[in-house]
Amino acid sequence: MGDGQWGGDERMNFHNTRSRVVRWRNSPKFGSVGMHATTVVAMGFFMVFAACETPPPRGQVVIGVERDAGALLPVIEQGTLDAEVNAALYLGLNSPRWENGALEYVVDDMSLAEGWEYSADSLALTYRLRQDAVWSDGQPLTSADVVFTYELIRRPEIASPRIDHWENLDSVVAVDDHTVTFFFNRRYPGMLFHTGVGIIPMHVFQDHATDNATLGGHPTLVEPGGQLVVSGPFQVAEWRRGDRLTLEPNPLATTSPRLERVVFRIIPEESTRLIELENGSVDVIDPMPVGAAEQLEADPRFRVESVTQRYYDYIGWNGARFAAFNDPEVRRALSLAIDRGEILAGLDVAPYAQHAAGPYPPIFRKLVDPTLQPDPYLPDSALAILAAVGWRDSDGDGVLDRDGQAFAFTMLIPSGNQRRSTAAQIVQAQYAGLGIDVEVREVEFNALLDMMFATRDFEAVLMGWRVGLEPSYVVGLFWPPDHTFNITGYSNPTVDDLIASAQSAASEDEAAEHWRGVARAIASDRPYAFLWFFDELVGVNERVGNARVNTYGVYQNLHQWSVE
């Protein structure tokens, strides 16, 4: 694909004035008996131009974050920061938003496509790509890149966390340089979500796409500063691992950021992040200590933003490393032995958290089953359950045992996270009261992810997830037995069947009932001890403007941020 009719100054004017022209909620409109063909065919799109110039980028924002990024490539990203930074580096075909308790999809200046339409039977979704989009090395961005990205996701040896996107997807076909069609086996509510992955450059990675390690070891990912090929408004200027990641404007992007530099500084200790915000060394801290919210809100220099109820903490039980965890009765006892109220009170986060009864946070109003209640604190019942399956203190040493094995295990937590560290110590003490010996060990975050996903080298882990905003991403990503994120090796055929039924449902309401069934089954099996849902708070200096922080995330419109 060439630059088409856009070039030079004309192209820059086009980039900077592109306007949003269309919006849909979730995906095509689904009726009670399926998708109506009249709502999904012949959808027209138009562009709006304005005779104005975007001011040149000015100033920088320094963001204090808890941990470093991991993989700056959407098909193999793992952590939350990976996903949010990658969204500023790589364009996806559509642009999702969180509005009125659900995902909506728009065409805006961060969309690679100019529009999309469905076939009459709704089994084909066709995107028309912008003709002015190029990679940061000047190479054209075409539908071949889209096909390459999705074929890469499909390959098991790549171990992409997005491989579930292919559950109902049959093929992706480049119709021409600027048109690509996704063919599905069935219609379902998540079609726009599953076609919105950040697209990566085929000409850069096609010779390194043999497996996960080879792809992740590509030179431009190992040393991305100045050479990582991207399409978004930012590119990587420098990455000093463990210290800072610096972004700068991508001069060939279809939209120009308002900042000339964004610096993510890795500051593991939350108390240190707070001090740096207060003394002006950083402009944003993500996350901030919840206990400091009242203090910051009283200071006119700062404001507190919130990513609401999108996170939950859990303890994952790996029966492959500690056999007792394979018994669902043991897992039930371990959950009943946790006083969640005491922990939240000790953490001073009760106003921003609530006990979790399963995998769906309250933001999913249609999916939360009101009959599903969090496990209460019943230590006597927990001890009785353990005794019934053979765990007793037979030798009087204060630790439960069975068949000569002590009930003793190691629980891993990410280093530098004071909330999880404190929670783990309280759980440790609560378990000790029942005769369960727990060693708490801190591990550097990215090393911990490797132990969780790659080697499964842990017995128990106290960790947290930021849930995806499409229902299948909340459970379909974590519980199928062969999925990368199924860290405990959990397997339940009923859950697998319900997930498949939900993903193939013809309407959102029909899918919701299956998703609720998934949640009930998982909550009953307790592969995790579900702990609490919580708000992630972000401290922001008032000099930072235009930051849109909500349930969708912190950096969703980073290219529009500005500083005074």
Q: Are residues 317 and 209 in the same domain?
A: no
Per-residue pLDDT tens digits for 477-523: 789 888 888 999 999 999 999 988 988 887 888 888 999 999 999 99
Assess if residue 188 is contained within a domain: yes
Does pLDDT of 308 surpass 50?
A: yes
Determine the average pLDDT of the residues in 160-174.
92
Together in a domain, 186 and 327: no
Q: Which of 273-277, 354-358, 471-475, 541-545 has the lowest mean pLDDT?
A: 471-475
DSSP letter for each residue of 9-46: HHHHHHHHH-----EEESSS-EETTEE-GGGTSS----
Task: Say what the pLDDT of residue 503 is.
Answer: 80
Backbone angles phi, psi at 84, to 5 degrees: -75, -40
Q: How many H helices and E strands in the chain?
A: 17, 24
Is 488 inside a domain boundary? yes
Query: What is the pLDDT of the chain when averaged over all its residues?
Result: 88
> What is the percentage of the chain residues whose pLDDT exceeds 90?
71
User: What pLDDT score does 495 carry?
Assistant: 95
The domain that holds 87 is classified in CATH as 3.90.76.10
Question: Are the beta carbons of 166 and 160 closer than 8 angstroms?
Answer: no
Looking at 220, 242, 268, which one is the last position of a domain?
220
Return all residues near 287 (Cβ < 8 A) that are at least 6 apart: 66, 270, 536, 537, 538
- CA 542 from chain center: how many Å? 27
pLDDT for the residue 326: 98
Q: Same domain, yes or no, for 315 and 215?
A: no
The predicted pLDDT at position 15 comes to 26
Residue 55: predicted pLDDT? 59
Candidates 25, 49, 5; CA nearest to 106 is 25
Binning the chain into helix, strand and coil, the percentages to the nearest 5 are 30, 25, 45
Residues in Cβ contact with 499 at an 8 Å cutoff, skipping those fewer than 6 apart: 472, 475, 476, 479, 480, 514, 518
- Could you tell me if residue 280 is inside a domain? no
pLDDT digits (tens, 9 = 90+) for 194-208: 999 999 999 999 998
* Pairing of the two strands 60-65 and 261-266: parallel
pLDDT band at 17 (very low <50, low <70, confident <90, very high): very low
Q: What is the mean pLDDT of residues 38-63?
A: 51
Predicted confidence at residue 526, as pLDDT, reads 98
Residues 193 and 316 in one domain: no
Task: Give SS3 for 492.
Answer: coil
Q: What integer pLDDT is reported at residue 197 of this predicted model?
A: 97
Convert the pLDDT of each residue in 367-417 to its tens digit. 888 889 999 999 999 999 999 999 999 999 999 999 999 999 999 999 988
Residue 237 is assigned to a structural domain of this protein: no
The segment with the largest mean pLDDT, out of 21-30, 45-54, 319-328, 547-556, is 319-328
Axis-axis angle for helices 508-525, 493-503 (nearest 10): 160
Say yes or no: 101 and 200 in one domain. Answer: yes
Answer yes or no: do 317 and 173 share one domain.
Answer: no
Longest dimension (CA), the chain: 83
Judge whether 418 lies within some domain.
yes
Residue 56: pLDDT band by 50, 70, 90 thresholds? low
Residues 72-88 have a mean pLDDT of: 93
Q: What are phi and psi of 38, to 5 degrees?
A: -70, -15
Residue 273 host element (H or E): helix 270-278
Query: Which one of 220, 242, 258 terminates a domain?
Result: 220
Residue 180 has what pLDDT?
A: 98
What is the pLDDT at residue 509? 86
Confidence of residue 36 (pLDDT cuts 50, 70, 90): very low
Q: How many CB atoms lie within 10 A of CB 422?
A: 16
Helix (H, G, I), strand (E, B) or coil at 109: coil
Q: Is residue 511 part of a domain?
A: yes
Give the CATH number, domain containing residue 445.
3.10.105.10
The arithmetic mean of pLDDT across residues 42-56, rounded, is 39
pLDDT tens sequence across 243-299: 999 999 999 999 999 999 999 999 998 899 999 999 999 999 999 988 899 899 999
- Does the pLDDT value for residue 451 go beyond 70? yes
Are 180 and 68 in the same domain? yes
> Is the preceding omega at residue 289 within 30 degrees of 0, hence cis?
no
pLDDT tens digits along 220-244? 999 999 999 999 999 999 999 999 9
What pLDDT score does 423 carry? 96
pLDDT value at 457 more than 80: yes
| In-domain check, residue 560 | no
Q: Are residues 336 and 212 in the same domain?
A: no
Q: Judge if 207 and 346 occupy the same domain.
A: no
Which whole number is the average pLDDT over 342-346? 91
What pLDDT, on a 0 to 100 scale, did the predictor assign at position 134?
A: 98
Report the pLDDT value the prediction gives residue 178, as an integer from 0 to 100: 98
- Mean pLDDT on 296-317: 94
Residue 94 has pLDDT above 50, yes or no: yes
At residue 54 the predicted structure's pLDDT band, cuts being 50, 70 and 90, is low
Residue that finishes a domain, picked among 161, 185, 220: 220
Residue 232 lies in a domain: no
**Tens of pLDDT, residues 127-157:** 999 999 999 999 999 999 999 999 999 999 9
What residue numbers bound the domain in which 75 lies? 8-220
Predicted confidence at residue 442, as pLDDT, reads: 97
Domain count, the chain: 2
